[in-house]
Amino acid sequence: MDSDARMVAELAVLEAAGNLRTLHSVRPEGLYLRHGGRRYLNLSGNDYLALSASPYSTLDLRRYAAEVWGAERLSPHLHGNPASRLMTADSEEYDILESELATLFPGRAALVLSCGYMLNSGLMPALADKSELILADKLVHASMIEGLTHGAAEFRRFPHNDLAALERQLQRAAGRGVWVLVESLYSMDGDSAPLRELAALKERYGFRLYVDEAHSFAVRGPQGKGLCAELGVDRAVDLLVCTFGKAMAGAGAAVICSPLVRRVLINRLRPLIFSTALPPITLLWDAMVLREMRTESLQAQGYPGMGSLRAQLAANLRRFTELTGIPAPSQIIPLPCGSNARALAAAEAGRAAGLWLTAIRRPTVPAGSERIRLSLNAGLTDTHLQQLADLCRKLG
C-alpha cells in the first residue's frame, strides 16, 4: 500500500469511529463565535477572564507602553521580529515582559517562549540528564509528555493525584536525582494537584518540582499568580510554567525559575534556540496584562480590575452550580458522555441552542471518558448561565 492509500485508509477508520477531526473557520466576536452565518456563545475557549470581550481589547497599547515603560524602548515596527531571540529578535519588549514577570515573582528569573507547548516540550530535554529520573502524573499535558519522550532521562508515570504511588516510586529512586511533573489545574478534568502535599513530599525526598500553571495563571491566587501562590507553595516550585494564551488572552509562555536555570535554558532549550520570536505587539499585550494584574492602574480610567474579573468568574462558577447542581471547583467543567457518538451528539445539541460546545474524544482523553469540556468565563451573564443550565438538564 502506498503512502496516499494508507493515509486515506487511516482517515476512513477515524471517520467510522466518530473520531475524525476537521477545522471550522470561525470569526471570534468577544464572548461569541460566528460560523456559517450564525453566532454562538463560546463555551469551549480558554479566555477565562473574558479579556477579549472587555475594554482592554481596544486599548491603545503603544500609548500605554510609552507612558509606562518609555517610548524610547519600543520598537518602531510592532508587527516584526522575524528571527530567533538568539539571532536579532531579542527586542526590548522581551525585557519589558520578563521584568514584569520578575516583579510578579520576586527573586526569580523568567524566560519567555512563543507558546506553552514549545516550552513544555523543551524543558526536560534541556535540564534532566540520563542519570536522573522523571516522575510525571498520568494526566499531564501532551506537551510535557513530548518533552519526556525526547529527553535522555528515564521517565515513569504515576496514577493521577496518587501521592501514595508517587511516594513508593520516590522511595525506590533513593540516591537518584528526581523531577516530579504535575499541572496545578488539569486541562480536561478541571481538578487540582495536591500541591501542599507535594511540597511536603519535596521537603522529605529532595526532588525538583515542575508545575504547569497554564489554566490557573491569571485566574487564581494573589494578583493572579496562580494556584501555587494561592496555596503558599510557589517558592517550593523549581520550574513554574505560566502561559499567556489562556486567561490573559495573549500569546506566549514563560518559565519562572532560578537565574542559574535560566542561563542553562538559554544555551540548551531547543525551542528557544530554533524558533522565531514573538512580535513586539504581542509582547506588549502580555506585559500590559501582567502589569494590570499587579497594579490595577487602569481601573481609574473605567477599565475592569483584574481582581474584579477573577471575582466575577468565581461568582459565575457558584451560580452555575446553583442552577445545575454540577460541582464547579474550577472554570473547566467536564460533562461525561462515555462515547464519541454521545459527545458529538451533545456538541450538536449545544450548537442547535446557540452554544458552541466541543466534543473531546480520544486520544485527547482515554476511551470511555469522552466528554464535553465546558469552559466558563467572567463575561457570562445570568441569562447565559440559565441558557447553559437548560441545556445541561436537556442532556441529562
Selected catalytic residue, list 141, 202, 225, 384: 141
Backbone angles phi, psi at 253, to 5 degrees: -160, 160
Which of 283, 121, 128 has its CA nearest to residue 212?
121
Which of 387, 392, 264, 274 has its CA nearest to residue 335?
392
Selected catalytic residue, list 93, 137, 189, 212: 212
Query: Do 116 and 214 form a contact (C-beta atoms < 8 A)?
Result: yes
Interacting residues of 176 by C-beta distance below 8 A, sequence separation 6+: 131, 132, 133
- Cα–Cα distance between 100 and 287 in angstroms, integer? 6
81 is known as an active-site residue: no
150 is known as an active-site residue: no
215 is known as an active-site residue: yes
46 is known as an active-site residue: yes
Selected catalytic residue, list 215, 216, 330, 370: 215
* Beta strands at 38-42 and 133-137: parallel, antiparallel or unpaired: unpaired
Selected catalytic residue, list 52, 246, 330, 375: 246
Which of 199, 208, 214 has its CA nearest to residue 254?
214
187 is known as an active-site residue: yes
Place of cell 538568539: 86
Q: Which ranges of the chain does DSSP label H, i.e. alpha helix?
A: 3-16, 61-69, 92-104, 116-127, 142-150, 163-172, 195-205, 227-230, 259-268, 270-273, 280-295, 306-324, 340-352, 382-395
Please give the full DSSP string across 287-353, using - where no structure is assigned. Answer: HHHHHHHHH-GGGGGTPPPHHHHHHHHHHHHHHHHHHH----SSSEEEEE-SSHHHHHHHHHHHHHT
4 is known as an active-site residue: no
Selected catalytic residue, list 187, 275, 316, 340: 187
Q: Which ranges of 79-191 does DSSP label H, i.e. alpha helix?
A: 92-104, 116-127, 142-150, 163-172
Query: Do 90 and 206 form a contact (C-beta atoms < 8 A)?
Result: no
Selected catalytic residue, list 44, 46, 91, 216: 46
162 is known as an active-site residue: no
Selected catalytic residue, list 183, 189, 286, 370: 183
Catalytic residues, by residue number, are 46, 141, 183, 187, 212, 215, 246
